[in-house]
A and B are shown apart, each in its own frame.
Chain A
Amino acid sequence: MSEIMKNDDIVLQVEDLRVEYHTDESLVKAVNGIDLTVRRNQTLGLVGETGAGKTTTALSIMNLIPDQVGVIAGGSITLEGKKTLEMSDEEMNHIRGKDVAMIFQDPMTALNPVTTVGDQIAEALRIHEGLDKKAAAEKAGKMLEVVGIPAERANEYPHQFSGGMKQRVVIAIGLSCNPHLLIADEPTTALDVTIQAQVLEIMQELKEKFQMSMIMITHDLGIVAEICDEVSVMYAGRIVEHGTLEDVFEHTKHPYTEGLFNSLPDINDRSRKLTPIPGLMPDPANLPQGCAFAPRCRYATEECTKAVPEKRWISDTHYVACSAYDDPAFHIERKVD
């Protein structure tokens, strides 16, 4: 693949992004130099525990970091050739919702409770497509039908919908202006398992229909396996392992990724004990000097606490940030057949 073609294929490129939250008491380093690449019509899974910096990363892409405390300390974000971090808020208003849209974790609070769902969908259409009130309302009704809600319910308020229906409405808002990139921030976490499957199915279906690229933020490896093409595993504001779905699932390299898999129950081997990762994620206001995962890592050596491990490319598509691989004989215990 030539370099030019490769670039043309990239919808979003995040390079060395650093985000900090400045509070009176502390400096929280939420995102510490991450790289992400999303290709056209592909889905990138961003996996990690609560507090790993996934949502902060997503909000940075939208350029919506809470501006009283949050600071983008460095790096660049290129969305379809446009450097979004250098754009003014005014310029970003034309991009948000049109080129890149976002779906939120909690549909119960993501919708404005005093505005009808139809108006909430129509709002984006009126801003980006310049539709008049009537045309926007009409298209909003169509969008509701796209996500499986009868158009006549457009005049109802969010409290008249169930959780799964609300998330469909949030999806309809996100998709209303045919964005090229959709960021889904744990879109199913707040939903029942049966509803989760429905919502995921709709998203997958619409992603293909609208030819979108997607970033799926989740802590659920099952969802990743189901819908992602590539996976980035995030820990304490850094990407510790990245690769294609196959790379990460079949040739797991990072001890943290291994820990995530070991925490999953295995229906074929119920005698196997769950092995949760011991300890907690370090306080992002007080990160350890070396590898942030070292205090919880069973392979950790003294080397690990000295410096932040560099990226190590395993193949063209797969990298891991772990200094244990300095030793060519090192391998993690997880075996995949």
Chain B
Amino acid sequence: MGRYILKRLAMLIPVILGVIFVVFFIMDLAPGSPVNQMVSENATEEEIQAIIDEYGFDDPLLVRYGRYIWDLLHGDLGRSYTTKQPVLELYLQKLGATAQLAISAILLAMIMSLPLGIYAAVKQNKWQDGACMVISLLGLSIPNFWLGLMLIILFALHLGWFPASGNRELISIVLPAFTEGTGLMAFLTRTTRSSMLETIRADYMVTARAKGVTRVASVMKHALKNALIPIVNASGMQLAYVMAGSVLTETVFAWPGVGRQLVIAITDRDIPVITGFLIMGATITALINLTVDIVYAYVDPRIKVQYATKKKAKKTPKAKEEKAA
């Protein structure tokens, strides 16, 4: 297992290199230059040239790429062109708010989707199933930014129960988390339902009922436990997605998170911030995926065995070599 985790961590390196290259390439193709954002309107040619020289904007793409990687190896993600703040520091500053939103949204989504999905599966093809699916379809089809605005109008402007934007008090989390959570809920409900549909028909369910296990207990204990793998997988994917920054929700609620900062950076053509945030996003996504894979092993003992056999499979060729020698 430890070996497996190390291997997965090592696989992060090519992923990050790839992400950096793609970001560099795209930013290079995009029209305009960051210089315009960095100098005053009536800057002279010399001043502009000085900045170009200082940052090496004229260097070939590969040279800039190499320089960036070199800095990255030293733990330096560069500084923002506009605020001169180190990118990593800026990212960590914004990560807290995003994590807070992401975790509340995913928890809210799970609390809603697990009962809905299980209930829909148990009542398959009956009206209750239809009702659950309509709710989840609504969650999927209502755009986040629209739902966010509607919630602000109703709960912030008219009722005044929650603040409309920002993250100054604990209660501020409610509207953004609900907005983000409904979208996630829709997908999770569908995953839960289809996964449960498979397991409630399994032979071991009849075995359980034949033992005298009640209908409810057989669903909650036997079927759900077996249905968890796809649910854990979907939740992990959703969490990774929100952790990378839920741009729309964060923007609508002026939530001081990663997504909103990224939008600001893109408008400013603040390339170090964009690149740094995307790298961190990719890293966090990969780490969440890895965590999900580790959780699998605890949910399903058969997967744990697979990790073990992978190790053994590696040992065999070695053993053969030794024999040959």
Chain B residues near A62 (CB, 8 Å)? 209-210
Chain B residues near A90 (CB, 8 Å)? 214
CB nearest neighbor in A for B305: A159
Q: Size range of the interface on A?
A: 20 to 34
Chain B residues near A97 (CB, 8 Å)? 210-212
Interface membership of A96, Cβ < 8 A: yes
| Docked CA distance A272–B124 (Å) | 54
Chain B residues near A271 (CB, 8 Å)? none
Contact B207 A110 (CB under 8 A): yes
Q: Which single member of A64, A112, A160 contacts B209 (CB below 8 Å)?
A: A64
Residue from B124, B214, B299 having most chain A Cβ neighbours under 10 A:
B214
Q: How far is the CB of B206 from chain A (nearest CB, A)?
A: 6
Contact B212 A94 (CB under 8 A): yes
Chain A residues near B222 (CB, 8 Å)? 112, 115
Contact B209 A173 (CB under 8 A): no
Interface residues as binary, A224-245 with B (CB distance below 8 Å gives 1, 0 otherwise): 0000000000000000000000
CB nearest neighbor in B for A112: B204
Chain B residues near A161 (CB, 8 Å)? none
Interface membership of A106, Cβ < 8 A: yes
Chain A residues near B203 (CB, 8 Å)? 104, 106, 109-110
Q: For chains A and B in complex, what number of residue pairs have CB atoms within 8 angstroms?
A: 80
**Chief secondary structure at chain B's binding surface:** helix
List CB contacts (< 8 Å) of B90-142 with chain A.
124-125
| Docked CA distance A173–B212 (Å) | 11
Interface membership of B215, Cβ < 8 A: yes
Interface residues as binary, B272-316 with A (CB distance below 8 Å gives 1, 0 otherwise): 000000000000000000000000000111100100000000000
Interface membership of B225, Cβ < 8 A: yes
CB nearest neighbor in A for B209: A64
Contact B207 A104 (CB under 8 A): yes
CB nearest neighbor in A for B229: A114
Select the stretch in A121-129, A283-291, A293-301 that faces chain B: A121-129
Q: Which single member of B204, B211, B301 contacts A96 (CB below 8 Å)?
A: B211
Contact A127 B225 (CB under 8 A): no
Chain B residues near A102 (CB, 8 Å)? 210
Q: Which single member of A59, A114, A124, A159 contacts B211 (CB below 8 Å)?
A: A124
Contact B212 A98 (CB under 8 A): yes
| Docked CA distance A104–B202 (Å) | 12
Chain A residues near B215 (CB, 8 Å)? 89
| Docked CA distance A68–B214 (Å) | 17
List CB contacts (< 8 Å) of A152-196 with chain B.
157, 159-160, 170, 173-174
Interface membership of B261, Cβ < 8 A: no
**Chief secondary structure at chain A's binding surface:** helix
CB nearest neighbor in B for A102: B210
Contact A127 B212 (CB under 8 A): yes
Q: Which single member of A64, A112, A113, A114 contacts B210 (CB below 8 Å)?
A: A64
Contact A64 B206 (CB under 8 A): yes
Q: Which single member of A109, A111, A114, A124 contacts B212 (CB below 8 Å)?
A: A124
Contact B301 A123 (CB under 8 A): no
CB nearest neighbor in B for A109: B203
Interface residues as binary, A85-111 with B (CB distance below 8 Å gives 1, 0 otherwise): 000011001111110011010100111
| Docked CA distance A127–B214 (Å) | 10
| Docked CA distance A90–B207 (Å) | 17
Interface membership of B213, Cβ < 8 A: yes
Q: A93-B214, A98-B212, A157-B301 are in contact. Are A111 and B207 (CB under 8 A)?
A: yes
| Docked CA distance A173–B301 (Å) | 21
| Docked CA distance A106–B202 (Å) | 12
Contact A114 B300 (CB under 8 A): yes
Interface membership of B208, Cβ < 8 A: yes
Interface membership of B226, Cβ < 8 A: yes
Contact B300 A93 (CB under 8 A): no
Q: How far is the CB of A324 from chain B (nearest CB, A)?
A: 39
Contact B209 A96 (CB under 8 A): yes
Q: A123-B213, A124-B212, A128-B212 are in contact. Are A114 and B301 (CB under 8 A)?
A: yes
Chain B residues near A111 (CB, 8 Å)? 204, 207
Q: How far is the CB of A157 from chain B (nearest CB, A)?
A: 4
Q: Which single member of B124, B208, B209, B300 contacts A113 (CB below 8 Å)?
A: B300
Contact A114 B299 (CB under 8 A): yes
Q: How far is the CB of A126 from chain B (nearest CB, A)?
A: 10
List 7 A-B pairs, Cβ < 8 Å: A90-B214, A97-B210, A104-B207, A109-B203, A114-B302, A124-B211, A127-B213
Which 3 pairs from chain A and chain B are nearest by CB? A97-B212, A109-B203, A97-B211
Chain A residues with CB under 8 Å of chain B are 59, 62, 64, 68, 89-90, 93-98, 101-102, 104, 106, 109-115, 120, 123-124, 127-128, 157, 159-160, 170, 173-174
Seed contacts A90-B214, A109-B204; 17 additional CB < 8 Å A-B pairs: A62-B209, A68-B124, A89-B214, A89-B215, A93-B214, A96-B211, A97-B210, A101-B210, A110-B207, A112-B207, A120-B207, A123-B208, A127-B211, A157-B302, A159-B302, A173-B207, A173-B211
